[in-house]
Amino acid sequence: MAIQERIGMPLADFIRWSSEAPFELIDGQVVPRMPTVSGHNKASKRIFMLLVPFEAEGLGEVFQEATYVLTDAPDWVRGSRIPDVMFVSAAKLKQFEESIPDADSKPYILVPDIAVEVVSPTDSYSDIDARVSRYLQDGVLLIWIIDPQRQKVAVHQLGSDQQANLEGDAILDGGAVLPGFKVAVKEIFA
């Protein structure tokens, strides 16, 4: 009989190590997060600011560079992600806060509804494609890949094999995931 090694790490170790330097836990590997550049930060801030008004409507909350973790048990992290921006519905946040003891002292133990990645000059197509695949496997409903260099947005939706590529006057919208969110792509890069 083969003994199978458990992938991941204890939650307490994850929290301690994360406080020293940000990282993602991907397929059992610790992957350090790299510093961002100015254009990346501007695009990330812009999409963050466009999502903030939806907090006032009570639909959920938006976070920038926040960690979410995937768990097998309350004390075991099997994976983690740090999207540039993420939006989490009010219902998911309420469930997290009510079901996780000391929720304020832990990373988000949930899957966001929207994950946004801003493409950096050093990102390869393969890296971005792998991130999208992981988000979809995690159950993220909507993924926006913001490309400041090309001023385009790629949209991926859970359950769809189709990717939408938007630019210029094309409208990026939140669909059923975030009703009422609409912005011309060119406004993200203004």
For 68-105, what is the HEC assignment?
A: EEEEEECCEEEEEECCCEEEEEHHHHHHHHHHCCCHHH
- The b-or-e profile of 101-129 (16+ CB within 10 A means b, else e) is eeeeebbbbbbbbbbbbbbbeebeeeebe
pLDDT on residue 1: 53
pLDDT on residue 2: 57
pLDDT on residue 61: 97
pLDDT on residue 35: 81
Beta bridge partners of 71: 77
pLDDT tens, the chain, 190 aa long? 555 577 899 999 999 998 888 899 998 899 988 888 888 899 999 999 999 999 999 999 999 999 999 998 888 999 999 999 999 999 999 999 999 889 999 999 999 999 999 998 888 899 999 999 999 999 999 999 999 999 999 999 999 988 999 999 999 999 999 999 999 999 998 8
Question: Is residue 181, in this structure, part of any structural domain at all?
Answer: yes
What the block records as the tokens of 58 is: 């009570």
State which residues form the domain around 66: 9-188
- What residue type is assigned to position 2 of the chain? A
Question: Is residue 98, in this structure, part of any structural domain at all?
Answer: yes
Question: Is residue 41, in this structure, part of any structural domain at all?
Answer: yes
pLDDT on residue 3: 55
Question: Is residue 142, in this structure, part of any structural domain at all?
Answer: yes
**Count of domains forming the chain:** 1
- Reported in sequence order, the residue ranges of the chain that DSSP labels E, i.e. its strands, are 9-10, 23-26, 29-32, 60-64, 68-73, 76-81, 85-89, 114-118, 142-147, 152-157, 164-167, 171-173, 182-184
Question: Is residue 58, in this structure, part of any structural domain at all?
Answer: yes
What the block records as the tokens of 18 is: 């994360």
**CATH code assigned at 156:** 3.90.1570.10
Question: Is residue 2, in this structure, part of any structural domain at all?
Answer: no
pLDDT on residue 73: 83
pLDDT on residue 24: 92
Question: Is residue 1, in this structure, part of any structural domain at all?
Answer: no
Question: Is residue 4, in this structure, part of any structural domain at all?
Answer: no
